[in-house]
Amino acid sequence: MLVLKFGGTSVGTPEAIGKIIDILKDGEHRDRVRVVVVSAFSKVTDSLISMSLKAASGDGAYREAAESLKKRHLETAGAFLSGEALEKASLALDDAILELVRVLDGIAALKEFSPRTQDLVMSFGERLSASLIAPIFSSRGIPASYLDARPLIKTDRVFGKANYFIEETSGRIRSYFNSLSLKLPMDAGAAKAKAPIQVATGFISSTMDDTTSTLGRGGSDLTAAIIGAALDAEEVEIWTDVDGILTADPRQVKNSFRIESISYEEAMELSHFGAKVIYPPTIRPALEKGIPIRIKNTFNPACPGTSIVKDASQGPFPIRGISSMSGMALLRVQGSGMVGVRGFSARLFTAIARKGININLITQSSSEYSLCFAVIPEDAEIACEAVKEEFRTEIAAGHIEPPIAETDLSIVAVVGAKMKHSSGVSGKVFHALGRNGINVVAIAQGSSELNISAVISKQDEAKALNAIHEVFFLSGVRSVNLFLLGTGLIGGTLLEQIAAQREILADQHKIKINLVGAGDSKHMMLSQSGLDPKSIKAQLREGKEALDLQAFVSKMKAMNLPNTCFCDCTASDEVAGWYAEILQSSIPIVTPNKRANAGSLGYYKTLTGFSRERGIPYLYETTVCAGLPVISTLRDLFLSGDKVRRIEAVLSGTLSYIFNNYDGSKPFSALVREAKAKGYTEPDPRDDLNAMDAARKALILARECGLSLEFPAVDIEPILPPSCFKADNVEAFFSELEKSDRDFEKRRAAAEAEGKSLRYVAIIEEGAAKLSLRAEAPGSPFLSLIDSDNIVVISSDRYSSLPMVIKGPGAGAQVTAGGVFADIVRIARTLV
């Protein structure tokens, strides 16, 4: 025998009711269902409360609203019934609405809307629904009778969320069904076939003196469980609009998925902490009788749903699911007068209980100096007053501080019986939170080890759920939500590489890169659902939202996504100026932009210090020598205890190309023109030949070696005469440069006469940094360079007799973008 319950969305439209009829007629349910518990049509309960509030305030619009309610139900009746059956249903609706209006008139006369009256008004939703659905079932060949559950389910007088009396209620239910000649257990197929299905009202009940009460919002689930337990049902099915209990709230975690099986205890923990699929008290009656509960989807009946049983099979994951409670308040009580005082907690929680306040979480420091507990925000002020009243003497004497209430919080709960036997679960949870900059206000874990709960800021709730869910459920997939500024040569190449490599990363390396924000020099686009790296450049060109750095950063922070990464592929001082705020928002940064690290020493130390202290990655490998592992190598040497004594380097791809090919076969100016034509220089070659770019790189290396240098302290030997920089345009520059060809040739020839070649080299040594044009002798590592290669020669305590050499392409869009891409992947690898 089965007991089925259908929620408001499942009976909200004629189409939905038609699906219920199909379910009752299918092979799995035909002749097995004895009771169908139904909720009010969707939104009807809210509408009834609204009518009551209007009546209490003197707003006569409640009568019009009651007529609309009648019309909605009459339209549903008309979709299924006709003739005498429709007329009978219409008369029943008239009577029910007339009774409702009389109650509302009474509220209007008294201008009072008490919890007791509210329960009576809300009962009309279920009564209208069940009394209409019963004849609809009968009209479709499913014999059914309307059952008002109020006389059967008896409760106390806690209106709004009454507590039912188990023995009294179970006895009345059994007696009622026995009166229908349904003997338990039922083993006669003929008897089953003849018995009409009882379409029962969910949610509503009555006190021992027959005053209407309710089991709390969502109580229709409990009604089904109570009836199922009383009748020893094989199973209670809760039909809703989702496929079952999911690993997390799908509205906040898109990657959540259905849990096949879950224990009663795990389901209670998840439902208590906000899982909306099942009303928390529903579990108790089923648990006591060992009756399985199955959560199914009315709109996808083929899905097996989620089974709630005593001994659920252990799944492949160390946890079962994640849930949360939004908008909580945390009260903190602390003081030396609590330490070692017996009975303090008893006094505290007795005082809270006297006010009828429910506590959702409790945690206490081991020193007993402080204790905090979570309540709903509406109860926070009352709870504070209760504590002040109970401990007024201790507070006045200064032994205990006045209670403090912190609001706008959420509780995130990680639930699973398997946690007890899985080490490292807590570590993963709190690493995921910390890695995403989510501050934990309080922590609680039950002795059963079924639940780890953390109190966090409400604004971080979705971020926390996604971060934890990814750690435990996505089979090791580590995702990065990427925000990119700069889609020029390097940024554009990076987008191409991401588009080409994204599927391979996801399939083979379990790394998923989601582009969620992008901007070029004029426009920006941000979308939480993701942007296509293949088409984003074209979309930005046609964009409607102008680039506003402050707005871009603000929106990135407001989206508050887990595992966010900001990538700056510009050469902008203005963008670099936002790095500190971005890092302080716990957002890692990846950049080839040298402006921040080659700017003021104070800003450099602020960024690197914050990254190191807070563990927020700030990766700038590509600021020096593109994709070559120079900065990471220096850092590894430092961490391993080595000390760098000297660095010699060719740091400019442009200058490397020019001097590698300056052999006297063509004038220096012609070689510069050739470099410009091949794209080795900026549109204005003076931007390379002024050596400023190489100097910035040298300054970054010096700072990475621990030198406290400002940019003006870098000694830069000019390559060009001053007249070249005074030229009005590029062509005028080349004219001036041609005048210097003879001087360049003299210097080159002099070096050649000594068997040497010219190279522009940076030297970092003894607390100083210098860049100069040097004549290099045969055997010099700088003479081994080809075209635009870079080279860095590192002498240290360990690499003294034979320096470490790092050489390779140090410029170019492909290698630079590849280095940036590698840093983004490195961000993913830092995740749990």
Q: What's the count of helices (H) and strands (E) in the chain, helices before strands?
A: 30, 29
Element (H, E) at 66: helix 62-80
Nearest to 32 by CA among 1, 63, 65, 69: 1
Determine the 3-state secondary structure of 774 from DSSP.
Answer: strand
Q: How many CB atoms lie within 10 A of CB 747?
A: 14
The Cα–Cα gap between 203 and 193 comes to 28
Q: Are residues 225 and 173 in contact, defined by beta-carbon separation less than 8 angstroms?
A: no
Determine the Cα angle at 564 with ends 631 and 321, to 5°. 125
Q: Name the H helices within 29-61.
A: 44-57
Task: Report the run of H or E that residue 539 belongs to, with start and end.
Answer: helix 536-541
**What 3-state class would DSSP assign to 652?**
coil
Active site residue 697: yes
The active-site residue, picked from 5, 418, 594, 697, is: 697
Token readout for 502 is 């994204």
Q: 236 with 224: CB under 8 angstroms?
A: yes
* 3-state SS assignment for residue 591: coil
Say how far apart CA 788 and CA 183 lie, in whole Å. Answer: 92
Residue 10 DSSP one-character state: G
Using alpha carbons only, what angle is made at residue 167 by residues 163 and 171, rounded to the nearest 5 degrees?
Answer: 120
- C-alpha 597/C-alpha 608 separation (Å) is 9
CA angle (791 as vertex; 788, 795 as ends), nearest 5: 170
Q: Which amino acid is at 466?
A: N
Cα–Cα–Cα angle for 669, 675, 681, rounded to 5 degrees: 105
Helix (H, G, I), strand (E, B) or coil at 444: strand
In terms of Cα–Cα distance, which of 256, 308, 291 is closest to 417?
308
- With vertex at residue 825, the alpha carbon angle to CA 824 and CA 831, rounded to the nearest 5 degrees, is 100
Q: List the one residue out of 502, 521, 513 whose CA is nearest residue 569.
A: 521
Contacts of 356 (CB under 8 A, 6+ apart): none
Distances (CA, A) of 802 to 62, 775, 790: 91, 21, 19
Cα–Cα distances in Å, from 750 out to 27, 71, 737, 774, 782? 99, 103, 20, 12, 18
CA-nearest of 399, 334, 401 to 369 is 334
In one letter, which amino acid is 481?
N
182: phi > 0 → left, psi -120 to 50 → alpha, else beta; which? beta
Tell me, what amino acid is at 511? I
Query: Is residue 597 packed enough to be buried (19+ CB in 10 Å), middle (13-18) or exposed (0-12)?
Result: buried
Active site residues: 697
